[in-house]
A and B are shown apart, each in its own frame.
Chain A
Amino acid sequence: MIEVKNISKSFNGRPVLENISMQFDKGKTNLVIGGSGSGKTVLMKCMVGLLEVDAGEIVYDGNNFSSLSFKERKPFRQDIGMLFQGGALFDSLNVEKNIMFPLNMFTNMTLEEKRERVNFCLQRVNLVNVNQLTPSEISGGMKKRVAIARAIAPNPKYLFCDEPNSGLDPKTSIVIDNLIKEITEEYNITTIVNTHDMNSVIEIGDKIVFLFQGKKEWEGTADDILKTEHRELNDFIFASKLAKALKKQS
């Protein structure tokens, strides 16, 4: 479980996150939604320690992560897997070596064991015969899947996904969403997904938090969101004509 307690963050005096508190449960796919510039990515970067919070606490299973030094955070970081918006695969390494990278760094597994783990993770994300390909030789959807495989390779306790569907077609988006959901439940990990993809919200969101202009405006489930009367959330969710028509029908 991850708890965010009253965190604030500003850049050059401009507040980006204001007094945000929330809780993300284990074994659940937790979604943070909001428009561009609402503070979703900054919140995620604060949670994983890529940015320092100005105030407040980030607590991982009872441990105050935000108060720890770089060295002290190391054991926690090894429990964190992250899927970046662009995949963030290492260009100079092929798919196999990308997935093997965290295993090389932090385990004493033999090459054979590492290869076995890589193949297992690739199978888990439905990829085969791509081990020797470089990131430039695979599609956007495959990059995301390889990035998920790399994130889950060291058996993380916490999985962070920043806009996992950006740049993907609707069908591939569904594949990625389902994969995230399955992995979360299968390995009982705490998953946090930043998204503004409404399909993800409805399909995989166990818990949804809505950010608006750096503040937490709403919290609930996928069922709640369809019935909400919150004006900003409605404007955000039902922005498209199709979504508006669907809401009218329901």
Chain B
Amino acid sequence: MNYIFNIGRYWLFMKQLVARPEKFSIYWKQLVRELDNFGYGSMGIVALTSVFMGAVITIQTVYNLVSPLVPMTAVGIVARDSIILEFSPTMMSLVLAGKIGSSIASEIGTMRVTEQIDALEIMGINSSAYLVLPKIVAAMLIFPFVVIISMFLGIAGGWIAGVGAGVISSEIYIRGIQDSFVPYNVTFALIKTVTFAYIITTVSSFYGYYTEGGALEVGQSSTKAVVYSSILILVFDYILTQLLLT
């Protein structure tokens, strides 16, 4: 029953976001701040995860390629496609759900319990639109760039690990990542990324916005935001793959 209530409440919350901004310049400033926060602010964790992810995929693929009938260029192909199709969009979104989702939920949740949201409402400001809309737009705009960077870093990480460990030559790896490249895979990855960006920001904002109580409840909202964003990312990953790749 609680799930149905929350789903209904979530859609009503979404409806509140569709409002004309009180002052466009203020929303624009908020958007730029969020772009910086979500993009530049996430680069560290994204770079680190991507490089190591690419490195592990490459070494594991080499380790599993035992048949002499499969050419070594397959390592590059497997690393590239794994990173582009799944690891960069989905894994990065799960990482960002943890980092950005919890931050959004705790920021908005704290604003709720310290009456800062009430202060906005008193002033006649649509608090949900003011606080949440710039976050959604910023995430949907910046996440694709973050994921593209992650793709490059992942593939580069694979090259560093493979060549550095001496399990594959630089030339074969590079030939592999160029072989049978399907540009649509990048488009597919970006569609997924934009969808996940929407899920992370709206679900996290929703849990933050409806926080009731104090510090304990802010923490609970933050946890719920990450858990439900992650579950929805996995569900929509499957749905989008089924719809767009089959």
B119 contact set on A, CB distance < 8 A? 82, 84, 88, 90
A84 touches B26 (CB 8 A): no
Give A104 to B23 CA distance when docked, in angstroms: 8
Complex interface residues of chain A between 74 and 88 (CB less than 8 A to chain B):
74-75, 77-78, 80-82, 84-86, 88
A82 touches B23 (CB 8 A): no
Known: A88-B116, A89-B116. 19 other contacts (CB 8 A): A48-B122, A50-B118, A50-B121, A70-B126, A74-B124, A77-B123, A77-B124, A82-B118, A82-B119, A84-B119, A85-B115, A88-B114, A88-B115, A88-B118, A90-B119, A91-B110, A91-B111, A105-B23, A106-B23
A105 contact set on B, CB distance < 8 A? 22-23, 26, 123, 125
> What is the interface residue range for chain A against chain B?
20 to 34
| A86 interface neighbour in B26, B114, B123, B126, Cβ under 8 Å | B114
Give A85 to B110 CA distance when docked, in angstroms: 15
Closest A-chain residue to B25, C-beta based?
Answer: A104
Give A78 to B122 CA distance when docked, in angstroms: 8
Closest B-chain residue to A150, C-beta based?
Answer: B119
Number of inter-chain CB pairs below 8 Å? 53
A102 touches B123 (CB 8 A): yes
Give A105 to B24 CA distance when docked, in angstroms: 9
Give A74 to B115 CA distance when docked, in angstroms: 19
> What is the interface residue range for chain B against chain A?
10 to 19
Closest B-chain residue to A82, C-beta based?
Answer: B122
B122 touches A80 (CB 8 A): yes
Name the distance in Å between B218's Cβ and chain A's nearest Cβ.
Answer: 13
Give A82 to B123 CA distance when docked, in angstroms: 9
Complex interface residues of chain A between 106 and 123 (CB less than 8 A to chain B):
106
B110 contact set on A, CB distance < 8 A? 91
Give A88 to B114 CA distance when docked, in angstroms: 6
A104 touches B26 (CB 8 A): yes
A73 at the interface (CB under 8 A from B): yes
| CB<8 Å pairs between A and B, sample of 14 | A45-B118, A73-B124, A77-B121, A77-B122, A78-B124, A82-B122, A84-B118, A86-B115, A88-B114, A89-B116, A90-B111, A91-B114, A104-B26, A105-B26
